[in-house]
Structure 1
Amino acid sequence: MSKTLIVLLGPTGVGKTDLSIKIAQHFNTVISSSDSRQVYREMSIGTAVPEKEQLEAVKHHFIHTHSIHDYFSSWECEQQTLDLLDHLFKTKNEVLLVGGSMMYIDAICNGIDEIPTIDPDLRNEVAERAQKEGIESLRIQLKKLDPVFYDQVDLKNAKRVIHAVEVCLMTGKPYSELRTNTKKKRDFNIVKVGLNRDRAELYARINLRVDLMMKEGLLEEAETLFEYRHYNSLNTVGYKELFEYLEGNINLDEAIELIKRNSRRYAKRQLSWFNRDKEIEWFHPDQEKEIMQYLKRQL
């Protein structure tokens, strides 16, 4: 029988986790996470890791399997997930991939160019420069090292700018020369289901979730990670705003409002990215019956 990877994706806060448990149980399968932050064991509240009961109800992979001290990129995600799928498809006809990290989902479904692992010392050096001199300094350096990629990249995306500079310095070559963007053939079928809600409904859920995270101890979690705030793994919504508060740059209410605003902006970027993919069939999370029927037809 043919093997199928069911991909359940959507913006942050839309409601992927609850539905993923039902789908996995229905098909008697497991879940592989494609969330770029839930993979880190030191981060729980701010990454909305599934509840203990949910993790026990269905076997999950790539949840709290790595440390923030580990280097884990889109390429590592692709390689490790493909190795896992090769193992799982020996006994399963379907496996469920769940998440909203655009680059990770893309890497698993379409492949990604092999970019060399960045030396930790170089990574720390670039991170310290970004912290001391600001991202503009790295933008200027990127323009010199790789003017082609400089014209392509979203210069407001600090993570992408930093990574490109790292690769240029590590390899001695322009990052753009290492990117082929060639889609790789997979030996399994892929069915993509997207979840979305009315914008007002989605934004209200995001705001509420931030309030719940704060009540559950997000600030205390951020305090335990404060000394590692320059790590790329912690350059993410929910933590970076609280680090600003802990550094005394803003007050707590401002930090909370920034988390909500930046979470909403991230959801908007996720949807813009996903909407370019015509293979995705979109549903409201409440359309559980229709989603199950669609998956059965596809399988």
Structure 2
Amino acid sequence: MTLIVLIGPTGVGKTELSLSIAESYHTVILSADSRQLYADLKIGTAAPTPEQLARVPHYFVGTLGLGDYYSAAQYEADALKKLDELFKEHHAVVLTGGSMMYVDAVCKGIDDIPTVDAETRQAVIERYEQEGLERLCAELKLLDPDYYQIVDLKNPKRVIHALEICYMTGKTYTSFRTHTSKKRPFHILKIGLKREREELYDRINRRVDLMMEEGLMEEARKVYPYRRFNSLNTVGYKELFKYFDGEWTLPFAIEKIKQNSRIYSRKQMTWFKRDADIAWFHPDQKDEILRFISRHITR
């Protein structure tokens, strides 16, 4: 049994190649994209189209509402359960997406961090809304100075989650972060896609323009009333919300979507390059990739 993991930065060309691989092995695709899970964010997350879904069955696409809470830990459990079912019918399954923590959750496992109860979560979110991120960061520095030194202090989701764990358990968030890899009952074959930076950036810019043509503005306007949900702290939506608020012009908002997408692609590549198990290819090397898979796949 082999899990074929196809990864790479946003806009590199994972979708079409994942379809080709899945069709070659008469199998299915698991999405490892934390935003494609939300049913109302189709255009802005470049979710598979109805035509693509008809070509190959997908899992973990469009299954959540905007307000639904979901974590990498839940994804690990759900994906492993689904893979256990799928490997009874398929000797290979494709997993693809750009959410680094979701990919690691399936391939390596993530730390056994306690699930936060609803009461604690609501209390911390209310504090964030009333007091702001800076105050929460100061408290994190007191409660868990080690994590404070490494966390992205501009990312409210990370800061809030660490504080939730501190409040709920009375222990530091750091104490739960062991980074111990878990063994999986299947072979994992990792394939990374990369392009020259200029080529990738041009694709990202053109993809944003295409999203606008396909109706990203209308999609963002529909979800605008729910902007405080974490699901909408997402490139493509948060910039257009600034335009709706009158803070930015539309051309400036579109340019910021492109810029933030490019920044995210750099973060993805930095993360993926740490993994020595990834075999790297250009997306145009489809035949070479298929040959590589055929040589390394196990039954």
* Same topology, TM > 0.5: yes
Aligned position for 1:144: 142
Q: What is the SS of the residue equivalent to 1:163?
A: helix
Q: Distance in 2 between matches of 1:127 and 1:258?
A: 27
Aligned to 1:31: 29
Residue 72 (structure 1) aligned with residue 70 (structure 2): yes
CA distance in 2 between counterparts of 1:165 and 1:245 reads 32
Matched to 1:216, the amino acid is E
Please name the residue that 2:152 is paired with.
154
| Counterpart selection for 2:15 from 8, 14, 17 | 17
Q: 1:82 corresponds to which residue?
A: 80
Deviation per residue, 1:250-286 (Å, 9 max, x gap): 2222211111100000000000000000000000100
Match of 2:286 in 1: 288
Q: Deviations over 1:129-182 (max 9, x none)?
A: 434543222211111121111112232333322221222223332111122211
Amino acid of the structure 1 residue aligned with 2:17: L
Match of 2:111 in 1: 113
Superposition map of 1:56-205 within 5 A: 56-205=54-203
Secondary structure of the equivalent of 1:56?
helix
Do 1:127 and 1:230's aligned partners in 2 also have CA atoms closer than 8 Å?
A: no
Establish whether residue 211 from structure 1 lines up as the match of residue 212 from structure 2.
Answer: no
- 1:128 Cα offset (Å): 4.5
DSSP-derived class of the 1:77 partner: helix
- Aligned-partner SS, 1:282: strand
Range that drifts further, 269-278 or 237-246: 237-246
Sequence identity (%): 57
| 1:140 aligned counterpart, secondary structure | helix
After superposition, what is the alpha-carbon deviation per residue over 1:230-252, rounded to whole angstroms, capped at 9, x for unaligned? 11111111111112222222222
Which residue does 1:7 correspond to in 2? 5
Letter in 2 for 1:218: L
Cα offsets for 1:31-80 (capped at 9, x unmatched): 00000000111111110001111110000000111222221100000000
1:193-240 superposed Cα distances (whole Å, 9 cap, x missing partner) = 000111001001101111111111112111111122111111111111
Amino acid at match of 1:195: L
**Structure 1, unaligned runs of 5 or more:** none
Deviations 1:93-116 (A, max 9, x none): 100001010000001100011223
Equivalent of 2:270, from 269, 272, 278?
Answer: 272
Q: Which amino acid aligns with 2:157?
A: K
Residue type at the aligned position of 2:121: R
* TM-score normalised over the length of structure 2: 0.95
2-side partners of 1:230 and 1:179: how far apart?
A: 28
Q: Secondary structure at the match of 1:7?
A: strand
> Structure 1-normalised TM-score?
0.95
2:34 and 2:98 map into 1 onto residues whose CA distance is 8
User: Which of 43, 46, 60 matches 2:44?
Assistant: 46
Aligned-partner Cα distance in 1 for 2:271–2:196: 17
Segment of structure 1 superposing worse, 74-83 or 246-255: 246-255
Shift of 1:124: 4.2
Q: In structure 2, what is the Cα distance between the partners aligned to 1:226 and 1:118?
A: 27
CA distance in 2, matches of 1:203, 1:161: 30
Give the CA deviation at 1:121: 4.8
- Amino acid across the alignment from 2:79: T
Give the total of aligned pairs.
297
Give the partner amino acid of 2:65. S
Moved more, 154-163 or 265-274: 154-163
SS class of match (2:288):
helix
Q: Which runs of 4+ in 1 moved over 4 A?
A: none
How far apart in 2 are the matches of 1:256 and 1:137? Answer: 31
Report the Cα distance in structure 2 between the residues aligned to 1:89 and 1:219, rounded to whole angstroms: 40
Q: Please say which of residues 230-239 and 156-165 is displaced more in the overlay.
A: 156-165
Q: Distance in 1 between matches of 2:210 and 2:128?
A: 32
> SS of the counterpart of 1:82?
helix
Note closer, same or farther for the CA distance 1:191–1:271 as it changes in structure 2 (3 Å cut).
same
